[in-house]
Chain A
Amino acid sequence: MHAATRDTSDLVACPTCDAIYHAVTPARGERARCGRCGIVLITPRTGAEARIIALALAVLILTFGALYFPFLTIRAAGVSHSASLLSAAIAFTGGPLFALSLVVLGLIVLVPVSRVILLLYVLIPLSLGRPPARGAKQAFTFADQLKPWSMAEIFAIGCAVALVKVADLADITFGPAFWMFALLTLLVVFQDSLVCRWTIWETLDQEGAA
């Protein structure tokens, strides 16, 4: 096999171990894994685009709800205090830890929301059978780069640990935002499991060329 003389468009290279394969779209419900390192290379789902879009819209709506409504309320000896998600995200604002509150706000709100908006921007034209939006490839690349920095689910577990820590000294009640955030976290995880990068890149490529 000589690289220079052949068309490489039917090949797929494993991003973690560099093994190459002929890209064969797996049957419905199956996944193509790298035979050497086991990473999932291709996992197409029927109707994935429409489902990802529906989930993304739900996540956006829940995020605004979760930011606006009270998240947790604490009561002790007649004094009470409510914290919203936004107030937790900017808890470090006063003083030298200001930068840290920007980081927390980014990790639990800005990054997840940006990823959802970027995915909607890429997938809505595709699901309507239109050519990709301008800059769709850059948008999808950026969404992919942001993925490890989206930490909503870690924040959710952090809430549980924090609750146990203060449960002894005060009464805690969950506000509506807490449940919205819990649901949102599950939806984000489910949405990510539906995204097949290979399939989306193939579609972007074909639609862009057409």
Chain B
Amino acid sequence: MSAGPLHELPDTALTARDAGLVGCRRCGRVWPMEDSLCGRCGTPLQSRDPRSLSRVWAFWVAGLIAYIPANLYPMLVTTTLLQETKNTIVGGAIELAQHGNGGVAAIVLIASVVIPIGKFLAIAFLALSVQRQAVEGAHARHRLYEIVEYIGRWSMIDVFVVAILTALVQLNALASIHPGPAAAAFAASVALTMLSAQSFDSRMIWDHMRPTRKAAAARSPEERLT
């Protein structure tokens, strides 16, 4: 069996590891398994990263811990002539919705609550599926991983909103906005979950697909091409 041209590879793809090779994750160049540094870009080579999952879990737990104060403490402190209001993430979104800004409230809730919680669940699911050597659903799990990687950065939006409001709304006694401790906790939580997702070695999603490969190999070559 040899690696075919790019457009012809089905699920039964030959992996670098199967071929006794190791691929560089930064530049894509392929090297013999015993090489430890990529000769082209200098990135350390590892066929599979054995410590990947422990790093994923370490960042995951740290991110989850940071997410708790991010929701309990105020994100924004608004001082006007009459009063001082402290808003948590969820509280701020509820206030927006009450003022008729349902769409913006939805953006804030999705970026700061739905996406972070969804990300914690998704990363945990992916790590557990690799740990129990799941065979099924590699495509779906890969898709989930891509979504987590793509969408994770967008949670930072709420921190930027607080930064802009703090810089902008400084009208002396009339009204001023200051950040609450939740802003720092939330930024830390987003960064830690991004690191958690980046630590995940996505090649492990596909490693236990061998049964499928055998089944496909048993079929005739003509069938395999279609």
Q: B4, A21: Cβ atoms under 8 Å? A: yes
Q: Which of B14-53 contact A (CB under 8 A)?
A: 14-17, 19-33, 40-43, 47
Interface size class of B (residues with CB under 8 A): 35 or more
A-B contact count (CB 8 A): 248
B206 contact set on A, CB distance < 8 A:
17-19, 36-37
A17 to B201, CA, bound (A): 9
B6 in complex: contacting residue of A22, A89, A157, CB < 8 Å: A22
Q: A162, B179: Cβ atoms under 8 Å? A: no
Number of interface residues of A (CB under 8 A): 79
Nearest-neighbor residue (CB-CB) of B35 within chain A: A8
Q: A19, B14: Cβ atoms under 8 Å? A: yes
Q: B20, A21: Cβ atoms under 8 Å? A: no
Q: A103, B20: Cβ atoms under 8 Å? A: no
Q: Decide: A141 near B10, CB < 8 A? Known: A11-B21, A91-B179, A165-B104.
A: no
Among the stretches B56-64, B120-128, B129-137, B159-167, the one at the interface with A is: B159-167
A36 contact set on B, CB distance < 8 A:
9-11, 13, 206
A195 to B41, CA, bound (A): 16
Q: A97, B13: Cβ atoms under 8 Å? A: no
Assess whether A176 is interfacial by the CB under 8 Å rule: no
Q: A1, B19: Cβ atoms under 8 Å? A: yes
Assess whether B203 is interfacial by the CB under 8 Å rule: yes
Assess whether A120 is interfacial by the CB under 8 Å rule: no
Q: Decide: A22 near B5, CB < 8 A? Known: A12-B30, A13-B28.
A: yes
- Counting chain B CB atoms within 10 Å of each CB, the highest count among A20, A101, A158 belongs to A20
Assess whether B214 is interfacial by the CB under 8 Å rule: no
Assess whether A83 is interfacial by the CB under 8 Å rule: yes
B residues lining the A interface (CB < 8 Å):
1-11, 13-17, 19-33, 40-43, 47, 96, 99, 101, 104, 107-108, 139, 142, 145-146, 149, 153-154, 156-172, 174-175, 179, 181, 183-184, 187, 191, 194, 198, 202-203, 205-206
A32 contact set on B, CB distance < 8 A:
6-7
The distance from the CB of B110 to the nearest CB of chain A, in whole angstroms, is: 11
A103 to B183, CA, bound (A): 12
Assess whether A169 is interfacial by the CB under 8 Å rule: yes
Q: A20, B19: Cβ atoms under 8 Å? A: yes
Q: A4, B32: Cβ atoms under 8 Å? A: yes
Contacts A41-B6, A88-B164, A169-B175 supplied; 20 other A-B pairs, CB < 8 Å:
A3-B20, A8-B29, A8-B31, A11-B3, A13-B16, A20-B14, A21-B3, A77-B171, A77-B174, A80-B171, A92-B183, A97-B181, A97-B184, A99-B184, A104-B159, A141-B41, A162-B164, A172-B168, A201-B28, A204-B40
The distance from the CB of A29 to the nearest CB of chain B, in whole angstroms, is: 15
A137 to B174, CA, bound (A): 54
Q: Which of A48-77 contact B (CB under 8 A)?
A: 72, 74, 76-77
